[in-house]
């Protein structure tokens, strides 16, 4: 959860956004000739292109849910050992961390990739589509890399290969973070970036900067989207249980119907954002993702359970929505003679993902060098969330989007991340590898006075 100092989050974010915009504009104006793509990046990408594809397809075919990434982490650790590294395993359950020490003195940085998949039944028709199934929240479901973490893992393995190959000429040190449970730990478990930090990730190796990327369906393949300041929303989960009284469906007056009460609750909750929240400056979202109650057509059940998510950019707005949702839940249920247990949030959430404005401006030319200035742009605020935000609260961070939707397909209508039809153009693997490697080398080789 954000610290108490984040209660005044809005003004710094707005200032950060303005600063980022001015810095990005200044960087673009100053660049009469953009940085060239490093020849070692081009050579490494050519050498590793098929290997990264093979890794990604293997991970895609064998997805694992959050905090269950046993095979994936084992494969990652195995390859890092083959490179001569000494990976530390078992961090935050299945996290893998390794340090590449360059042959020359220089800065310390960290690179992060997430490894977990989602409880989604794949519908892509790919020859390497996932056929994995499991039980999630008591129900059978498929497991799919519907968000692209398979790509992130493959890309970072490729970057590791490239950096190890040039280690003697490399200034500084690079921490490789292969993170589990970005999608959120199961109920009653901890996981992800927050747990890695809690277990001491940056205790003995404190990087100057941390970098990460995400393949993104709303960005065309071959393009990169990045913005300084706030990028992705804070994310919180909630759970609400409405208690009624069971009765036969033919005689609803003999009981208390929690299904009707829940339907009214869901409808009324939509007014929290549309009528009670000032979204003129920053957006907010309240979404119910699942509702479960009853098992037979003619029996009114005792209880209904609902879960969902809240997305915000401002800490004051975030806490007000928590209070409003609790208030709506309890009072709407009471109006029906029912009661409600509202856990809002039901576990610590992710803070806003904020790109350090100065770091973003500094590395913008590196991203432009990879795909061309015309193919790097600033996206709007994203309501999706990322627990990369926890790293970026500890040290300056830069997180950028790599386009994953094939040319000729409109990114606005393409199946989104988390869709069972999410389809990754493997061009994004090449772009991601080159971008992350270029950013790494440009930062490490920069003169010390500019660090």
Whether 152 contacts 215, CB under 8 Å: yes
Q: How big is the CA angle at 186 (ends 404 and 57), to the nearest 5 degrees?
A: 30
Torsions phi, psi for 50 (to 5 deg): -70, -35
Closest to 302 (Cα-Cα) out of 235, 222, 355, 242: 242
Residue 182 burial (CB count, 10 A): 25
The first and second tokens of residue 56, run together, are 């990604």
| Catalytic option among 69, 150, 182, 314 | 182
* Catalytic residue check, 323: no
> Which tokens go with 387?
């627990």
d(C-alpha 376, C-alpha 21), whole Å: 14
Neighbouring residues of 157: CB distance < 8 A, sequence distance ≥ 6: 52, 55, 76, 79
d(CA 133, CA 120): 9
CB count, 10 Å around CB of 27? 18
Where does 177-308 have alpha helices with state H? 192-198, 258-276
> Which is catalytic among the residues 69, 116, 150, 183?
116
Which is nearest to 359 in space by CA: 150, 179, 107, 39? 107
Q: Which residues touch 273 (CB under 8 Å, ≥6 apart)?
A: 279, 284, 285, 286, 321
Rounded CA-CA distance 206/268 in Å is 47
Distance of CA 313 to the CA centre of its chain: 15
CA 434, CA 366: separation in Å to the nearest integer? 10
Do 250 and 296 meet the contact criterion of CB atoms below 8 Å apart? Answer: no
Q: Does residue 378 have an active-site annotation?
A: no
Between the CA of residue 434 and those of 158, 222, 319, 405, what are the distances in Å?
A: 10, 11, 40, 18
**Catalytic residue annotation:** 116, 182
């Amino acid at each position: 959860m954000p610290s108490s100092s984040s209660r005044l989050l809005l003004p710094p974010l707005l200032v950060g956004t303005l600063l980022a915009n001015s810095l990005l504009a200044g960087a673009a104006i100053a660049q009469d000739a953009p940085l060239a793509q490093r020849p070692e990046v081009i050579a490494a990408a050519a050498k590793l292109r098929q290997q990264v594809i093979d890794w990604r397809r293997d991970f895609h075919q064998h997805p694992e849910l959050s905090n269950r990434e046993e095979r994936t982490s084992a494969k990652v650790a195995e390859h890092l050992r083959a490179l001569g590294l000494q990976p530390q395993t078992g961090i935050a359950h299945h996290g893998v961390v390794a340090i590449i020490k360059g042959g020359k003195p220089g800065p310390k940085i960290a690179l992060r990739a997430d490894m977990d998949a989602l409880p989604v039944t794949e519908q892509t028709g790919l020859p390497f589509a996932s056929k994995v199934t499991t039980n999630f929240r008591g129900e059978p479901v498929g497991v799919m890399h519907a968000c692209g973490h398979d790509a992130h893992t493959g890309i970072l393995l490729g970057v590791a290969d490239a950096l190890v190959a040039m280690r003697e000429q490399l200034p500084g040190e690079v921490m490789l973070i292969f993170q589990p449970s970005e999608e959120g730990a199961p109920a009653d478990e901890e996981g992800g970036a927050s747990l890695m930090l809690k277990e001491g990730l940056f205790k003995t190796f404190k990087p100057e900067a941390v970098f990460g990327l995400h393949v993104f369906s709303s960005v065309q393949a071959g393009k990169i989207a990045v913005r300084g300041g706030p990028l992705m929303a804070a994310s919180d989960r909630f759970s609400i249980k409405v208690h009624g009284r069971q009765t036969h469906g033919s005689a609803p007056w003999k009981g208390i119907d929690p299904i009707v009460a829940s339907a009214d609750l869901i409808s009324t909750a939509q007014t929290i954002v549309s009528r009670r929240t000032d979204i003129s400056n920053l957006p907010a979202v309240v979404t119910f993702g699942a509702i479960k109650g009853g098992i037979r057509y003619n029996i009114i059940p005792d209880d209904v359970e609902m879960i969902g998510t809240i997305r915000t950019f401002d800490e004051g707005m975030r806490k007000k929505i928590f209070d409003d949702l609790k208030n709506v839940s309890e009072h709407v249920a009471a109006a029906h003679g029912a009661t409600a247990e509202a856990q809002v949030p039901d576990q610590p959430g992710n803070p806003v993902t904020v790109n350090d404005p100065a770091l973003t401006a500094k590395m913008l030319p590196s991203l432009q060098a990879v795909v061309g200035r015309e193919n790097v742009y600033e996206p709007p605020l994203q309501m999706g969330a990322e627990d990369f935000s926890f790293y970026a609260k500890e040290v300056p961070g830069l997180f950028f989007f790599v386009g994953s939707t094939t040319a000729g397909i409109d990114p606005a209508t393409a199946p989104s991340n988390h869709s069972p039809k999410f389809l990754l153009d493997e061009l994004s693997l090449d772009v991601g590898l080159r971008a992350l490697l270029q950013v790494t080398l440009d930062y490490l080789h920069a003169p010390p006075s500019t660090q």
